Structures are given as C-alpha cells and as structure tokens.
Amino acid sequence: MRKFAPFLAGLLIALSVALTPLPALAVNPDEVLDDPVLEARARELSVLLRCLVCQNQSIDDSDADLARDLRILVRERLTAGDDNEQVLDYLVARYGEFVLLRPRVTAQTYLLWGMPIILLVIGGLVLVSSQRRRANAKATSLTSNEKAALSKILSDRE
Amino acid sequence: MITELGHYALVLALALTLIQSVAPVWGARINDERLMASASYTSPMIFFLLFLSFSALTTAYVTSDFSLVNVWQNSHSLMPTIYKISGTWGNHEGSMLLWVLILALFAALVALFGGNLPPSLKANVLGVQAWILLSFLLFILLTSNPFERLDQVPFEGRDLNPILQDVGLAIHPPMLYLGYVGFSITFAFAVAALIEGRIDAAWARWVRPWALLAWCFLTAGISMGSYWAYYELGWGGWWFWDPVENSSFMPWLSGTALLHSALVMEKRSALKIWTVLLAILTFSLSLLGTFLVRSGVLTSVHTFASDPERGVFILMILVLFIGGSLALFALRAGRLHAGGIFAPISREGALVFNNLILSTATATVLVGTLYPLVLEAITGNKISVGAPFFNLTFGPMMIPLLIAVPFGPLLAWKRGDLYAASQRLFAVFGASLLVMVIAFAFLSDGFSLAPIGIGIAAWLMMGSMAELYLRSGYPKTGFKVAMNRLSGLPRTVWGTAMAHFGLGMSVLGIVFVTAYETENVSILKVGETTELSGYTLRLDELGPRAGPNYTEDIARVTVLVDGKVVDELVPTKRIYTARQMPTSESAISTFGFSQLYLALGEVKDKDTVVLRIWWKPLITLIWFGTVVMVFGGAFSLSDRRLRVGAPKPSVRRAKAINA
C-alpha cells in the first residue's frame, strides 16, 4: 500500500489536470498562430492568465480589449522562442503576480497550497485520537455506584 | 398608498420580531408555557406582514411606480411584465426583502408544523430565528430601505441590468435563498440545543428533514444558476470558481456533510458535537456569502451597488452570530455526551469519511476564496486564486470520495465488513472497468485520463443502484417478489440511491464535456458553411432586429447533418437602450444529452461575422444529474419517518425497518 501512495497521488493530480475544463474560447481567428503546437501552448497559457480588467475571467474567456492584447503578447513571446515558464515570468514582471490565476508556490502561498493537506492530516489525527479515546472509554469498568444500581435493577427483575 | 402600507407592515414585523426574540426564550428559562407558546403565534404573523410588504414592493414594480428610488433605479416601463416581477429581487434592497421573507417563512413553518417538538426547544428555536430576523430587518430599515421615495417623480426608469432580464432571475435567487436561508433553521436548532444543554437522537430526527429541504433547494438553486451562466454569459462555461459561486457552494458542501452526519446521529446517536458544529458552520457560511456578495469586498456579476456602510453592518451581524454561536459552542459542547461507538469500517465510518473529505473541501474553497483578500490586507500584495487552483486542489480530493460512495450503504452500522461489501460490488467493479476499457478504445486518440473519469462515473451510477438490486434479492427470488421488496423499501433508501445516481450523472457530464468538447471559431460570410464534429453550419442571414427595450444583431444559422437540415439557430448580440449595455445571447441546439452552442462574435461588416461554435457532448447530464439529486432528496423527505409533524412510526413498520 505504501508503495502505491505516491503513484496514487500522482494519478489523482494527473487526473484533475486532465479534467481541467477546456478553455471556452474568446480567441479570434486573426490571432491564431499558424503553428498548431505553438497555438496549443498559447491556449494552455491563456487559461492560467487573468484578464486584469475583468471579473475573474481568464484571457481565454474574455472579450475585453486587454485580454486580446495579452493573448497576442503571449503568442509573440512564444513565437520569439520563450518556453511556457518564461512567458509567465515575462507577464508577471509586467503585471505582477495578480495576473496568474494559479498562484505560484512561494513563501506567501505555502499556506494556501498546503491547507488541503494540513486539514486532511489534522482531521485524520482527530479521528484516530477520538476513536482511541472511545475505545478506552469502553474499557473502563463501572463505578461502584453504577454496579450497585445495576444489581438493583437486575434483582428487581427477578 | 400601497407602498406606505408595505413600509408600515415592514416596521410592524420588526416590532413583532423584537417581541419574539425575547418572550419565548425568556419563557423557556422561567418555564412559563404561555410565553413559550407566544412564538407559535407571532411567527406566522411576522411572515404575513413581510408577505404584505413584499407584495407592496412587487406592486410598485409591476405598475412602474418610479416615485420609489428602488423601482426607478432597477426597472423600466417597457420591460415585459415577468421581468418587472422578477426585477423586484434583481437588486440589493428587494433581494434583502426576499431574504427576510424566506427567513420568516421557515420560522412560520416550524411554528405550524413543529407541534411535536418539546415546547422549550420550539420556543428557543423560534427565538433564535427571531434574532437573525431582527438583525436583518434592522439592516433593511436602516441601510437598505426599498420603500424610499423620490421628491420628483422621474418619467422613466433606469432599467434592470440586462444580464438579469432573463427567466433565470425568476427562479435562481428564490431557490438559492430558500436553500441557504433554510439552513438558518438547522442553525437555530443547534443554538437552541446548546442553550438548553441537551441534545439527543430525537434532535437529529427533527433537524434532518429541515436540512434536507434546505439542501434540495440549494442544490436546485446552484444548478439553475450554473445553467443560467452557461447560456447567458456566452462563453460556454458552466462553473467558473467565481468567489460568488464559491459563497453558495461552501454552504452546499457543508450542508451535504450535515445531511450525512445527522444521519449517523439519528440512527446511532454518535457524532453529536460534530453535527451541531456543522449546523452552525453551514449557516455561518451562508451569512459569509451574503456578506461577501453585498459588501463590495468582491466584484462579480452578483455585486449590487455596494456601499461600505452596508458592508460594516453585515460584518457586525456576521461577527455577532458566528462569534456568538461558536462561543456558545465552546462553552457548552463539553456537556454533550459522545454517543454510540463504532468500528472504523462501518456505515458510521463511511459517513465520517464523507464528512472528513467534504469539510476539507469546504475549507479549501473557503481558503482559496478569502486568501487574496487576507493577503492583500496583510502584505499589500495582490494575487489571484482562480479556476486552475481549485481544479488542482478540489478535484483530486473528490476522487476518493466518489469511489467510496457505493460502499457506504452496503456497510452495516456499528461494524461493517469491507471484504463482504467489496464482494457484493465486484460485478459493478467489473462493469465499470469494462466501460473504462471501451472508453479507452473508442473515445481517446492517444493517451488520456478521461476514460478513468468515465469509469468512476459508471462505478458511481451502477454502484448506487447496487443496494436496491441486492435488497430486492433478484434473481434468487422471483421477479414478482423482488418488485414487492423494492416497493416495500423505505423511501430514504430509494432517495439515497437516486441522489448518488444523480451525482454519477453529473460526474459523467463533467468528464465528457471537459475532455471531449470541440470548438470552432470562424469568420463567415453569408452563405458560407463551417463544420464541427459532424455538424455543418451555414450562415443564412445577418442583420439587425429591434426588441421591446433593446436592439440586436442577429445571425440565422442552419444546422445540417449529412445534408439534412436538423435545426435553425439564431445567436444575437444585443444593446440595451436604457443602459447602452451590450450582451450576447447564445443559441443552443440539444441533441440527446449533448449540445451545439453558438455565440456571435464581432460583426465585421454587413455580411461577415465571427461565429464561435462549441460541441459539448453530454453536457446536460451535469444539470440533469442535479435534478435527479433533488428528486432523491425530495423522495427521501416524503418518507413518513421523516415527514415533518408525522406521528411516531407504527410498531409494525418499525420492526420491518429493524429487520
């Protein structure tokens, strides 16, 4: 089982990445790159980037002019030969961390990313300890008063 | 005149609420029966007064009485009548009035149908309900009065936000409010139990139907909102992890956990303290949602004109109720004795697992929603936490839960046998594996994880039916006996199976549409065609059209399969005259459970346009699944053992259940 744990964790994460909703596109035909591989990468990145003037929309979803500018910018950087990480770095340098819909793991976001695991572990520990407590409580014998009461009830029945 | 009557009724309701928030609670303390019983009379009266008040506002909307600030700001004389009516709650003040109306409705229902409650518990529950109502009535009258007049009556209104001019507005908010305001009842029960310092399995029996009722409405409300966003916002998404969506999703998650833990408490008298805490947290999350949406802390489609004064007021209510109830919980929880013991592998254990995952998921959504706000307040740094974060954290967390669902009902209370349950699910496992292999073979080109998701959905759907199948005894018993057994099963068993089956349907829809959706964006001239997933789309006409309070560009698109016309779609782009606000009206064609979704992009010139087309396979299963879940909940609610105010089950029936 222990061997399986990392495999299982990997599978779960991979599965959820695979199930990340496909972008609903706002991209216009004239923006699309000729190279399908680059275009696919551009779309992949677009989902991760926030349209800064919109309400919680990615640049892939948004019709706003700024979103369009950013989409074109992403494609320019890709065509210039940047890898995905470099494109994100470039945008963060220009617009700040706010532009990333999936925040980076930094000192400021450890708590954010770690929270699900921390909570699961704490929850699990609380459960185990309460289970133990209950098991112990079950083992404790009756007090003398309770014993007396019990024998009284039993004798009354007879 | 009617307006003044409505205003007066609102103030009268406040006065009565003031009485109800003191008299019954005091009566319970000094054991005065008449004082305790007073709440049973005031509650329906308060509801009646608020109903009058709400009707008065609706009347003002229908008659376009622009002397009211609220009507002037949010209505227009040319709007169709249905939008005038639903426009009553399409704004901050009006929707607050609907909020308190529903709060009063639930209190009145407890007053009328809670005849079998112990008098002191009933008095305390209605007293607590009155405290909530009191604070929100004060909020309305002091900061958000819908009955304020204008000195000079304007000739025309400023129109309702165009996005809200849709039948969705007539259904989504009332459903949603019935849901999360409904959880105020479970909150009131929890606080009343803490005040009394006494709680038992019977408490859970009273609470569970209310939680189930609220849950059904909340599920329907969220689902309706999702479908509305899907067709109205025009970019084909159905869930955006928007902070406001999250604020309704959090009470849903913890409410779902509450349903399951209350079950353990009712049957096995265990998890008492936890259930009380969940009841408090669920409504606290509803209040938090109300605060986030109304204070202007967040911006979204749902934000009504926000005003800091209101934000501070709701924040005070929030602190008072959440802080107060949690403090009370900390003080009194120690007195509640832990109940029945159970082995880790048991029905209780499975439900605890459900609660562990659901509450962690709730907390994850909560942290993700609030993190940017808190971080900015502390460090001044702005970050975004969007859909990619939630998909990466919430998604994997759900998978073990979904896999565990079919096991739950098959495990015995107290001590279950996982091996035996697995054996009974073996056929389902095999069938799900087969589905997965078929999906791999026929749906994927290249490596994809979607077939695993499809397998999980199949496992959920078939696994939730396994209990029914096993209990029918078919094929060992004859068909007729099996049918008799099935119809004799308690409705809650059916309800559980249906709700879990519905969940499987939704999962299937989600997996399919995320993995196999296809898209096409084309510049089309009139007469040209384009193809997508076997459908040919021909642009037939492009031109302007005038509506009652808007003008629009329309495109007439014919859908063909193998040269045969199967549908005609008319996506449009509108400009609403009064606000000069553009919206996009998508056009959808449904084939089975799948949909072809069309949205109009930029109109290039008088006969060229950008057309966005999506093929969304099995997408409607997402919403049909929730409908099945709601039916499951409602069916379970109709079980006579749960029915509100039902007398104790007959001895014969009780025996049958124990057997």
Cβ within 8 Å, pair A96-B382: yes
The predicted-structure confidence for B193-223, as pLDDT tens digits, reads as follows 999 888 877 788 888 899 999 999 999 999 9
Query: Mind giving me the DSSP string for B247-307?
Result: HHHHHHHHHHHHHHHHHHHHHH---HHHHHHHHHHHHHHHHHHHHHHHSSSS-STT--S--
For residue B297, the model assigns a pLDDT of 67
**Of the ranges B80-89, B263-272, B285-294, the best mean pLDDT one:** B80-89
Of B242, B379, B519, the CB nearest to A108: B379
- Is the model's pLDDT at B338 over the cut of 80? no
Homologous superfamily in CATH for domain A18-99: Cytochrome C biogenesis protein (1.10.8.640)
For residue B446, the model assigns a pLDDT of 62
Higher pLDDT, B502 or A63: B502
The answer to which of A58-62, B19-23, B85-89, B105-109 has the lowest mean pLDDT is: A58-62
- Is the model's pLDDT at B485 over the cut of 90? no
Nearest C-alpha neighbor of B513 from the set B593, B455, B601, B446: B593
Interface pTM (ipTM) of the complex?
A: 0.82
For residue B25, the model assigns a pLDDT of 93
Range B20-48 average pLDDT: 93
Shortest alpha-carbon distance between residue A135 and chain B (Å):
8
Residues of B in contact with A121 (CB under 8 A): none
Name the token pair of B220. 């329907």
Of A29, A56, A134, the CB nearest to B610: A29
Cβ within 8 Å, pair B392-A16: yes
- Is the model's pLDDT at B569 over the cut of 90? yes
The answer to which of A28-42, B347-361, B448-462, B641-655 has the lowest mean pLDDT is: B641-655
**Of the ranges B174-178, B445-449, B468-472, B638-642, the best mean pLDDT one:** B174-178
Cβ within 8 Å, pair A47-B388: yes
- Is the model's pLDDT at B434 over the cut of 60? yes
For residue B368, the model assigns a pLDDT of 93
For residue B487, the model assigns a pLDDT of 86
Higher pLDDT, B630 or B267: B630
Shortest alpha-carbon distance between residue A138 and chain B (Å):
8
Shortest alpha-carbon distance between residue A32 and chain B (Å):
10
Range B232-247 average pLDDT: 84
Cβ within 8 Å, pair A24-B379: no
- Is the model's pLDDT at B311 over the cut of 90? no
Contact B542, B549 (CB under 8 A): no
Burial of B200 (0-12, 13-18, 19+ CB in 10 A): middle
The answer to which of A150-154, B69-73, B385-389, B619-623 has the lowest mean pLDDT is: A150-154
- How far apart, in whole angstroms, are the C-alpha atoms of residue B559 and residue B551? 25
- Is the model's pLDDT at B242 over the cut of 80? yes
Cβ within 8 Å, pair A21-B514: yes
For residue B655, the model assigns a pLDDT of 43
Shortest alpha-carbon distance between residue A155 and chain B (Å):
27
Name the token pair of B228. 């509305």
- Is the model's pLDDT at B324 over the cut of 70? yes
Q: What percent of chain B has pLDDT over 90?
A: 51
Q: Where are the domains of chain A?
A: 18-99, 110-157
- How far apart, in whole angstroms, are the C-alpha atoms of residue B352 and residue B337? 18
Q: In the structure, what pLDDT confidence band is assigned to residue B659 with cuts at 50, 70 and 90?
A: very low
For residue A2, the model assigns a pLDDT of 43
- Is the model's pLDDT at B606 over the cut of 60? yes
Cβ within 8 Å, pair A102-B392: yes
Pairing state of beta strands B608-616 and B518-525? antiparallel
For residue A40, the model assigns a pLDDT of 86
Range A2-29 average pLDDT: 51
B44, containing H or E segment: helix B33-62
Residues of B in contact with A22 (CB under 8 A): 514-515, 517, 519
Cβ within 8 Å, pair B391-A134: no
The predicted-structure confidence for B533-557, as pLDDT tens digits, reads as follows 889 999 999 988 988 888 889 999 9
